[in-house]
Amino acid sequence: EGVGCVAFGDYRVRFCTHWNVDDDDIERALDGIERAVA
């Protein structure tokens, strides 16, 4: 828990409060954010 809080800027509250963060979740989150901002 808390890994997502460090990296995602404005997203940190959402990741921290709504996600049970694990490595697979982080990979999917990064992929989704990269696609969204690309």
What residue numbers bound the domain in which 14 lies? 3-37
Between these two residues, 37 and 11, which has the higher pLDDT value?
A: 37
- Whose structure tokens read 């049970």? 20
Give the tokens for residue 36: 């969204």
Tokens of 24: 């697979």
Question: By three-state DSSP, how is residue 12 classified?
Answer: helix
Distances (CA, A) of 29 to 4, 33: 9, 6
- What's the mean pLDDT in 8-35? 66
Is-contact 33 8, C-beta < 8 A? yes
Q: What is the mean pLDDT of residues 5-32?
A: 63
Over residues 14-27, mean pLDDT: 62
What's the number of domains the chain is made of? Answer: 1
Q: Is the pTM of this model over 0.75?
A: no
